[in-house]
Amino acid sequence: MPWFPDFVSAAELARMELRAAGQADPVAQYLSALGDGRSQALETAWPGQVVIYDPRAGRIRGHRELRRFLHANNAWFTERNAHVETVASIRVPGRAVVEVVAQLRVDGSEVAWPVAIVAESTDNLSVVFRTYCSQWPVDGRRHVRDPILAPGSDVPPDAVGSYFAALDAGNVDALAGLFAPDGYYRESIGPHSTHHGVDQLRSFFSECFSAGGGIGLTPCVVTDDGMRCAVEYNCVRWGSHPLPPQAGLAIYERNTDERLAAVRNYDDVESPVAMHA
């Protein structure tokens, strides 16, 4: 049967190509699996361990749990007629952070749901996906998100580091001054909650700090390509109110003079004071 070795070689080549494609862009592969409910491509690309930290489903570990999770998520997406559009990405060796907006129907209305996904791999066998978002656009509630990561990396000593210091201190003027004139802050609950320019930023941060001071974020993992910086953090304090540590991520986008062109937030931390929604 002279064709058999050729058949085996072709099948192995297809697997190698699928693995290479998945490892080159793991988030795209993951998003495709979320949409169609099929795990084969992920299992082929990552034959070792696949671990997912999902805000709704919790921690998923291993291929068996992966299959159940993807099947359930596909049904959830289909019910809401969801589709996903990529907004921006950061890629460094071994890690990628991708921002997307999921368009879906909730109670008969179209909703834009901002989501950030981190894919991290330390070898060519296993991968970890960490997803960050607010569930407010989906069910109108804030959900306490337990920490995923331990405190670790320091933030860069530029506008991003200055932002963390001013946020912690509750310094409204310092925060607003870090943004470019056309810079903006987008809350995690959706693009409708975006604050543009110095006046809107000052008003927004003043409202945030009305709980008795600044907001304490403990950095865990930093992914930085020079233009955009993603910081995965645990929020531990809001004003004078200590909080149970809660996982989140923010994207800090620099402009050409290294001021902040944008800050986009992805968490479900609830303010201890009444704020707009």
Q: Domains plus CATH for the chain?
A: 3-133 (3.10.450.50), 159-266 (3.10.450.50)
pLDDT tens digits, 68-103: 999 999 999 999 999 999 999 999 999 999 999 999
Question: Mean pLDDT throughout 200-209?
Answer: 96
Upper half-sphere CA count for residue 251 (Cβ side, 13 Å): 29
Give the closest residue to 45 by CA, choosing from 34, 54, 33.
Answer: 33
The total number of residues shown for the chain amounts to 277
Residue 19 banded pLDDT, cuts 50, 70, 90: low
Question: Is this structure's pTM higher than 0.85?
Answer: yes
Q: How far apart are CA 256 and CA 20, in angstroms?
A: 34
Tell me the pLDDT of the chain averaged across its residues.
Answer: 91
- pLDDT at residue 38 is higher than 80: yes
- pLDDT at residue 11 is higher than 50: no
Residue 9 banded pLDDT, cuts 50, 70, 90: low
Amino acid at 274: A
Give the closest residue to 90 by CA, choosing from 70, 119, 128.
Answer: 119
Task: State the alpha helices, DSSP H only, in 116-225.
Answer: 136-139, 159-169, 172-178, 197-208
Residues 45, 29: contact at Cβ < 8 Å? yes
In degrees rounded to 5, what are phi and psi of residue 146? -60, 155
pLDDT tens digits, 182-198: 999 999 999 999 999 99
Question: Mean pLDDT throughout 246-262?
Answer: 95
DSSP state of 269: P
